[in-house]
């Protein structure tokens, strides 16, 4: 006899609103620094302001929304210094995760990365921009999926949506997508050849580009 049936509860309205707003921020539909008016969000989603307010509070805790007293809620924005610090944090976490995942299961890691790169090539060639960015995230997530270190994963999860949002802004031109693909392909090939140190050098170049391109992110973004 099987155990008791597990009934999946539907998401609450606040959770649905939270997921919708998060997706819109990550995809760049709500721009960094943009005001998030409860009444407009309520009208657009066809729900009351209460779940909208709860969703914004949850996203504030996650760092995607900034709530300023007497002014309201805004999509997060970053100073140049914060972008530099975020890139440094990413580099530390991703390098450590890559070291551990490569040591633990290099074959499984490389196989997953190869499969992702094949899909990235197809998305690039067909102009499927959002799908390409999803695969870009999958590529970096793979380091953590194979590292076996809960604390590294938790640290990365705390900033992953902010990283995804930055990636959207920094990948809007064809040249940047081309460069991104070349680097992901190079990392995969180097790991396949056992050249971990060289792969980490390419990874560092890729991550620190966010630092160097911070001026692009900051143009026109003000609270």
Residue 182 pLDDT:
96
- pTM, 2 dp: 0.87
Q: In total, how many domains does the chain have?
A: 2
Q: Whole domain around residue 209: which residue ranges?
A: 80-218
Q: Which parts of the chain sit beneath pLDDT 70?
A: 1-11, 210-223
State how far the alpha carbon of 121 is from the alpha carbons of 55, 126, 136, 191, in Å: 36, 9, 11, 18
Statement to judge: residues 60 and 127 lie in one domain: no
In the prediction, which pLDDT does 221 show? Answer: 55
90 and 163 co-located in one domain: yes
Whether 223 is in a domain gets the answer no
The pLDDT tens digits of the residues spanning 111-166 come to: 999 999 999 999 999 999 999 999 999 999 999 999 999 999 999 999 999 999 99
Residue 168 CA to residue 63 CA, distance in Å, equals: 17
For 183, phi then psi, to 5°, come to -70, -40
Q: What is the pLDDT of residue 80?
A: 86
Q: Give residue 217's pLDDT.
A: 62
């Amino acid at each position: 006899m099987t155990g008791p049936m597990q009934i999946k509860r539907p998401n609450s309205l606040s959770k649905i609103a939270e997921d919708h707003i998060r997706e819109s921020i990550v995809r760049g539909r709500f721009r960094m620094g943009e005001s998030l008016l409860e009444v407009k969000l309520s009208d657009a989603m066809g729900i009351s302001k209460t779940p909208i307010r709860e969703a914004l509070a949850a996203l504030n805790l996650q760092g995607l929304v900034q709530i300023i007293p007497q002014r309201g809620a805004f999509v997060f924005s970053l100073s140049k210094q914060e972008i530099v610090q975020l890139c440094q944090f990413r580099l530390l976490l991703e390098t450590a995760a890559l070291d551990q995942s490569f040591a633990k299961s290099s074959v499984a890691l490389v196989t997953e990365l190869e499969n992702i790169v094949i899909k990235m090539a197809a998305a690039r060639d067909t102009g499927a921009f959002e799908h390409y960015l999803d695969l870009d995230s999958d590529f970096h997530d793979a380091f953590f999926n194979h590292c076996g270190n809960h604390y590294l994963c938790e640290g990365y999860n705390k900033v992953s949506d902010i990283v995804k949002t930055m990636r959207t802004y920094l990948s809007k031109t064809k040249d940047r997508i081309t460069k991104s693909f070349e680097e992901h392909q190079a990392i995969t090939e180097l790991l396949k050849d056992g050249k971990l140190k060289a792969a980490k050098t390419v990874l560092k170049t890729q991550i620190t580009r966010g630092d160097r391109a911070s001026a692009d992110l900051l143009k026109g973004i003000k609270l």
